[in-house]
Amino acid sequence: MWAFINNQFVTADQAVLPVSDLSIQRGYGIFDFFRTVEHVPLFIDHHLVRLQHSASVLRLQLPFSNDELKNIVRELINKNNLPTSGIRITVTGGNAADTYTPTTPNIVITQSPLTMDAAFDASKGLHLITEEYVRELPTVKSINYLMGIYLQQKVKDAGADDVLYVKNGHISELVRSNVFAVTHQNELITSDANVLYGITRKHILQVAAQTMGEKEQAVSLHDVLHAKEVFVSSTTKRLLPVFSINGNKIGNGIAGTVTTDLYQRFLELEHQVIGKGW
Q: Which residues bind a copy of itself (CB under 8 A)?
A: 3, 5, 13, 15-29, 57-59, 88, 90, 92-93, 99-102, 108, 110, 136-137, 142-150, 152-153, 176
How far lies 62's CA from each of 27, 32, 58, 89, in Å?
18, 13, 11, 11
Distance in angstroms (rounded) separating the CA atoms of residues 3 and 259: 36
Query: Which residue from 149, 23, 38 is spatially nearest to 95, judged by alpha carbons?
Result: 23
Shortest distance (Å) from residue 183 CB to a copy of itself: 32
Nearer to a copy of itself, 19 or 119 (CB): 19
Residues with Cβ within 8 Å of 76's Cβ and at least 6 positions away in sequence, in order, are 2, 3, 4, 9, 87, 109, 111
Shortest distance (Å) from residue 221 CB to a copy of itself: 21
Nearer to a copy of itself, 100 or 222 (CB): 100
83, 36 Cβ separation under 8 angstroms: yes
Nearer to a copy of itself, 152 or 217 (CB): 152
Nearer to a copy of itself, 53 or 88 (CB): 88
Shortest distance (Å) from residue 9 CB to a copy of itself: 14
Nearer to a copy of itself, 60 or 128 (CB): 60
Distance in angstroms (rounded) separating the CA atoms of residues 108 and 3: 7
Shortest distance (Å) from residue 99 CB to a copy of itself: 7
Shortest distance (Å) from residue 163 CB to a copy of itself: 13
Shortest distance (Å) from residue 18 CB to a copy of itself: 5
Nearer to a copy of itself, 141 or 265 (CB): 141
What are the φ/ψ torsions at residue 8 (nearest 5 degrees)? -150, 155
Q: Which helix (H) or strand (E) holds 68?
A: helix 66-80
The DSSP secondary structure of 123-172, one letter per residue, reads T--EEEEEEE---SSTTS-BS--HHHHHTHHHHHHTT-SEEEEEETTEEE
In the chain the first and final C-alpha atoms are separated, in Å, by: 22
